[in-house]
Amino acid sequence: MQDAPDPTVATGRAVIQSYLRTLDGSPGVYRMLNAQSEVLYVGKARNLKARVSNYARPTGHSPRIARMIRETASMMFLTTRTETEALLLEQNLIKQLKPRYNVLLRDDKSFPNILIAKDHPFPQIRKHRGKKTDRGSYFGPFASAGAVNRTLNQLQKVFLLRNCTDAMFASRTRPCLLYQIKRCSAPCTGRISEADYAALIADAERFLQGKTTTVQADLAAQMQAASEAMEFERAAALRDRIRALTAVQSAQGINPRGVAEADVVALHLEGGQACVQVFFIRANQSWGNRDFYPRTGAGAEEPEILQAFLAQFYDDKEPPRLILLSHPVEDPDLLGQLLSDRAGHRVELAVPQRGEKAELVENAARNARESLARRMAESATQNRLLAGLAEAFDLDAPPRRIEVYDNSHIQGSNAVGGMIVAGPDGFVKSQYRKFNIKGEAGAQGDDFGMMREVLTRRFERLLKEDPDRKSDAWPDLLLIDGGAGQVSAVAETLAELGVDDIPFVGVAKGVDRDAGKEEFHRPGEPPFALKMNDPVLYFIQRLRDEAHRWAIGAHRAKRAKAVGATPLDDIPGVGATRKRALLAHFGSAKAVARAGVEDLTAVEGISAAMAQKIHDFFHDRG
């Protein structure tokens, strides 16, 4: 909730005017703050004095800028050497401070790539996300994990490359199912030579570079040669690969002939809401698309939104050589220079008017328009549900942030607490959290104690990071999986922490434990239920089910990790690589424990000193 303005603090044009005498024509970044010292806006300028003097003018401002000027009580300035540095600093501050009047990209997840690893005689092909630190060839970005998985499936069908881990590869004595269904050439058991597998890798890389016709011609020539040599089984295998490649080419969607590498970025703005569609074109192939919904800074227009989006979007992603846009940006030369500096090569920004490039942009713009229409319809429904939730639970206003908590364990083992978050935009998956239960409650299977631990850790951290509750990380409503007992435990915990002003509700199954007969518990009040066909009831069920899915997924992951744990994990200096090497050599952790120092030094990567440390570790354990 926004604080009321302090009438004793001067704001507006006169305040801005007072800074002009201290400014010069240097490039830099400025911040506009309100009477509560909250940052309203961060901007950059080629000439700070000229830019600030524009704000001091009595007229000529858009409604958005006029509101911002009226709220401004103070300003802060940072000078830079160049305007490019100012643009970079501006975007860093926007992401850090999230000012109300700036355009803000709210979803900045990394995009997956395909990696052909080059640290093994028979390279593995796999999905990769994050920094490109592993040795190998990277291809991407792809719009989603689904797009990567589809391409990996296609590559397995056509090129028969392995996707198993190195440890799995080393432990195989016979081919796995993928070999039987013609998805792998089984290099793990010597069914293909290193040279022939290297040829498959080269073909796969050419395919990912867009040279599909060359690959197909080579396969056809090999099939003809095999047929002439009466190697009919090999010829049939090559024929199957050609058919798979043809099927891949016909199912790849929009594959532009004249655009080898580009990102197509289209914006649709309606009713103060924006949708940006990004299509990834690599190697003359469409590698998927993703939609984004940036916050529009209380009324910014297309050029400002698109410029801010691009500067933030490519903050941690390498831009391609060409970016096709639906609208011009505010400073194309400056933004192009910034992106070129980040990429290490020239980046061109273009707004095509005709031809294939214009068709690509129009397709992206149509997708942006349709995605925004769907989102606005969903938002209207979501807002009605939140209003219904407020009415059902006697809240002062529809909640903007709902946190739902659940625990998962099996008789106290591998206990995990889960928190999901929902609001006007639906589930906010970037805010989900997992809590490994550390106290005695987990071992004892005490659900009440586990909930106390989860809430204590959650709110102690909130109180430390934001004691004044200025951020949007504070919830308006807590939903707890459980009945009267859980509600009492939660009430005590929150009271001890001094945050007993946050409403919370326990969601318990009814007498028959049937969905639809849920009872709702609040402190000091009798339980109640909603009508069976009430949309708000279905909404609460979805929230509870999502929290349960999240918590049980975390529990299963923890349990699976515990199953794969060995005493080797506790030896200082034995990381994942040495652990794999030891298990591959000896077959089990028990065999490692029984091995002598000389046997241990026979393992690749195990020095005499490390062998002695491993031997001592097991013998000291008695």
Mean pLDDT of 447-454: 90
CB 99 within 8 A of CB 39: yes
Q: Is 94 in contact with 42 (CB distance < 8 Å)?
A: yes
- Each residue's pLDDT tens digit, 464-500: 988 888 888 999 999 998 888 999 999 999 999 999 8
Tokens of residue 614, six digits = 């491993």
Alpha-carbon span 34 to 12, nearest angstrom: 10
**567-620 belongs to CATH 1.10.150.120:** no
What integer is the mean pLDDT of 147-170? 85
Mean pLDDT for 92-102 is 91
**Type of residue at 500:** D
Tell me if the bond preceding 141 is cis, omega within 30° of 0.
Answer: yes
Question: Which structure tokens are listed for 368?
Answer: 């942006």
Separation between Cα atoms, residue 142 and residue 151, nearest integer Å: 10
Average of per-residue pLDDT values in the chain: 86
Domain covering 402-552, topology: Nucleotidyltransferase; domain 5 (3.30.420)
CA distance 179 to 157: 10
- Average pLDDT for residues 503-532, to the nearest whole number? 82
Q: Is a pLDDT exceeding 70 seen at residue 565?
A: no
Residue 353 pLDDT exceeds 60: yes
Domain 262-373 sits in CATH 3.30.420.10? yes
DSSP state of 2: P
- Weakest-pLDDT range from 165-169, 453-457, 583-587, 592-596: 583-587
Q: Cα(265)–Cα(278) distance, rounded to whole angstroms? A: 5
Mean pLDDT in residue range 224-234 = 79
How would you label 319-339 residue by residue, b for 16+ Cβ within 10 Å and e otherwise?
Answer: bbebbbbbbebebbebbbbbb
Q: Across residues 18-29, what is the average pLDDT? A: 92
Answer whether residue 506 shows pLDDT above 80: yes
d(CA 394, CA 221): 75
Q: What string of H, E and C letters represents the secondary structure of 426-481? A: EECHHHCEEEECCCHHHHHCCHHHHHHHHHHHHHHHHHHHCCCCCCCCCCCEEEEE
pLDDT above 80 for 335:
yes
Burial of 364 (C-beta count, 10 Å sphere; 0-12/13-18/19+): buried
Report the percent of the chain where pLDDT is more than 90: 45
Q: Report the C-alpha gap between 56 and 43 in whole angstroms.
A: 15
DSSP 8-class letter at 5: P
Q: Which 3 state secondary structure label does DSSP give 324?
A: strand
How many angstroms separate the Cα of 274 from the Cα of each of 18, 304, 375?
Answer: 36, 12, 10
Can you identify the CATH homologous superfamily of domain 13-101? GIY-YIG endonuclease (3.40.1440.10)
pLDDT over 50 at 270, yes or no: yes
Distance CA 326, CA 358 (A): 9
Specify the 3-state DSSP secondary structure of 553: helix
pLDDT at position 596 over 60:
yes
Mean pLDDT of 382-396: 93
Asked whether the domain spanning 567-620 has the same topology as the one spanning 402-552, the reply is: no
Q: Categorize the per-residue pLDDT at 377 as very low, low, confident or very high, splitting at 50, 70 and 90.
A: confident
Q: Map residue 222 onto helix, strand or coil.
A: helix
Domain boundaries, the chain: 13-101, 113-250, 262-373, 402-552, 567-620
Q: What is the pLDDT of residue 433?
A: 92
Alpha-carbon distance 34 to 342, whole Å?
A: 34
Give the residue-averaged pLDDT of 104-122. Answer: 84
- Give this prediction's pTM: 0.70
* Mean predicted confidence (pLDDT) in 107-127: 86
